[in-house]
């Protein structure tokens, strides 16, 4: 494939995908597209890139980076927010990483992040949430948090199907809902905005399949379907039902439900079974705090996943260290959970840990578990040393403030020592 304004590294090779086996074939020198992003992305992405390079080299491999553009940098280079070069590169080379993006008002996309997920059908947003020793936390036992959130990426209210108050279109929808569907007392008089919340069997089952496969492959005890099905019975209630159905249809030997757990096993799950259970979303927000160790993998519709993953992240120190990734069939895009924080841009001060740890997930996805472990251990050692960026230094007694680049350099030195 040819590209208009970006260069493909000559020394790298493509990651390829065996669809039948659902497996990536990864060379030791993969071409990996990277989007620096907006705001602090320009600070954290280059230094994260340096750390990931070091971990790859320490394990006898090499990453051939391919710089591509979205957001502000794309507007400067292409006069558009999301050029074909970028989408094509992420599609062709399959495994990539990006920094945070800001969507300007009136720029044509509801969200550049959502647009990328939809264009590449990255239907799973995975956010591991685990504690790193030394990170300040608002809870007493942050080390109890070790969950992986699987959030559906393409449906729910994020599908963006809505009509603005005062338009002819919204009045047509109101008329249809009230007159033809018979919900004549549902909508108050006066201006109204209306949205549609689609949740499909197809979208639900492929998300839950990813979550259960992850639990099996990573020796996790449970998968919890988080929903508001007591109120939204035909959307989130259906998500719950389809999730259980998928487990029964495709994983009958590897999973049991909670009723079976208690009726046949007196609450003690066999080691070779993953327990599939469900919780109402508001109750789950409470149980994140009160019964943290009881949950391993959460599978959720889009909006619930947004709320729950941020709440879980707060328990282990906040979004500054929270990694994430978007996963489809044969494609992967890592990204930190935090935003672009433009007021801190260009100051070499923003914490790059979330971007680095998102890269750790990328290394795992490439099958480079040894390199990923080096990244994890080096970041944890660096934080424990109290030589950290400003956001952590101000919360740590005896902390020493480093620039983002200095922090990353010291992590690289630790990787060398650990390798």
Kindly give the confidence (pLDDT) of every residue in the chain, 419 residues in length, as a single tens digit, with 9 standing for 90 and above: 789 999 999 999 999 999 999 999 999 999 999 999 999 999 999 999 999 999 999 999 999 999 999 999 999 999 999 999 999 999 999 999 999 998 665 545 568 888 899 899 999 999 999 999 999 999 999 999 999 999 999 999 888 899 999 999 999 999 998 888 887 777 888 999 999 999 999 999 999 999 999 999 999 999 999 999 999 999 999 999 999 999 999 999 999 999 999 999 999 999 999 999 999 999 999 999 999 999 999 999 999 999 999 999 999 988 778 899 999 999 999 999 888 989 999 999 999 999 999 999 999 999 999 999 999 999 999 999 999 999 999 999 999 999 999 999 999 999 999 99
306 annotated binding-site participant: yes
Domain 1-136+319-419, CATH class in plain words: alpha beta
110 annotated binding-site participant: no
pLDDT at 339: 86
Helices (H) and strands (E) in the chain, counts: 14, 17
291 annotated binding-site participant: no
Using DSSP's 3-state secondary structure scheme, residue 263 falls into helix
The strand pairing partners of 327, in sequence order, are: 124, 332
Q: Does domain 138-155+199-315 have CATH number 3.30.565.10?
A: no
DSSP H/E element including 148: strand 146-152
Contact status, residue 352 vs residue 114, Cβ threshold 8 Å: no
- 10 Å CB burial of residue 105 (0-12, 13-18, 19+) is exposed
67 annotated binding-site participant: no
b/e sequence 298-307, b meaning 16+ C-beta within 10 Å: bbbbbbbbbb
The strand pairing partners of 125, in sequence order, are: 151, 326
Using DSSP's 3-state secondary structure scheme, residue 162 falls into strand
pLDDT at 107: 47
Report the predicted TM-score, pTM, of the whole model to 2 decimal places: 0.92
- 10 Å CB burial of residue 181 (0-12, 13-18, 19+) is exposed
pLDDT at 305: 93
Three-class secondary structure assignment of 312-349? HHHHCCCHHHCCCEEECCCCEEECCCCCCCHHHCCCCC
331 annotated binding-site participant: no
146 annotated binding-site participant: no
> Pick from 119, 157, 149: which is nearest to 302 by CA?
157
Q: CB neighbours (10 Å) of residue 138? A: 10
The first and second tokens of residue 58, run together, are 């320490």
Q: CB neighbours (10 Å) of residue 148? A: 22
pLDDT at 108: 55
pLDDT at 38: 94
141 annotated binding-site participant: no
Catalytic sites, residue numbers: 158, 228, 282, 306
What residue ranges do the domains of the chain occupy? 1-136+319-419, 138-155+199-315
Q: What is the spatial distance between Cα 344 and Cα 340, in angstroms, rounded to a whole number?
A: 9
Q: pLDDT tens across 204-229, in order?
A: 999 999 999 999 999 999 999 999 99
């Amino acid at each position: 494939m040819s590209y208009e304004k970006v260069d493909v590294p000559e020394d790298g090779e493509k990651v390829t995908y065996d669809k039948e086996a659902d497996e990536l074939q990864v060379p030791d020198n993969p071409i990996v597209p990277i989007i620096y992003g907006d705001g602090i992305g320009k600070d954290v992405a280059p230094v994260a890139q340096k750390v990931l390079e070091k971990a790859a080299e320490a394990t006898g491999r090499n990453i051939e980076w391919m710089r591509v553009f979205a957001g502000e940098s794309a507007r400067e280079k292409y006069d558009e927010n999301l050029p074909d070069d970028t989408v094509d590169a992420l599609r062709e080379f399959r495994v990539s990483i990006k920094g945070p993006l800001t969507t300007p008002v009136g720029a044509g996309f509801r969200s550049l992040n959502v647009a990328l997920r939809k264009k590449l059908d990255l239907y799973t947003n995975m956010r591991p949430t685990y504690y790193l020793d030394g990170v300040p936390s608002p809870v007493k036992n942050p080390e109890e948090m070790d969950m992986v959130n699987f959030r559906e990426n393409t449906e729910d209210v994020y599908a963006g199907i809505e009509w603005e108050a005062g338009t002819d279109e919204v009045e047509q929808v109101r008329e249809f809902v009230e007159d033809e569907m018979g919900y004549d007392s549902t909508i108050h008089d006066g201006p109204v905005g209306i949205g549609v919340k689609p949740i499909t069997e197809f979208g639900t089952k492929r998300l839950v399949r990813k979550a259960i496969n992850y639990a099996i492959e990573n020796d996790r005890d449970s998968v919890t379907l988080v929903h508001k099905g007591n109120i939204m019975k035909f959307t989130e209630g259906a998500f719950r039902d389809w999730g259980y159905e998928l487990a029964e249809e495709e994983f009958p030997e590897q999973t049991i439900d909670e009723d079976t757990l208690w009726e046949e096993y007196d609450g003690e799950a066999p080691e070779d079974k993953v327990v599939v259970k469900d919780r109402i979303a508001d109750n789950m927000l409470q149980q994140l705090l009160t019964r943290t160790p009881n949950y391993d993998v959460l599978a959720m519709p889009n909006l619930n996943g947004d709320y729950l993953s941020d709440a879980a992240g707060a328990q282990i120190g906040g979004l500054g260290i929270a990694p994430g990734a978007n996963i489809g069939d044969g494609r992967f895009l890592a990204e930190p959970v935090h935003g672009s924080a433009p007021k801190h841009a260009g100051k070499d001060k923003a914490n790059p840990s979330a971007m680095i740890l998102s890269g750790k997930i990328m290394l795992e996805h490439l099958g480079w578990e040894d390199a990923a472990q080096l990244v994890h251990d080096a970041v944890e050692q660096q934080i424990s040393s109290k030589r950290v960026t400003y956001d952590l230094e101000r919360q740590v007694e005896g902390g020493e403030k480093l620039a983002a680049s200095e922090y990353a350099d010291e992590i690289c030195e630790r990787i060398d020592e650990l390798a």
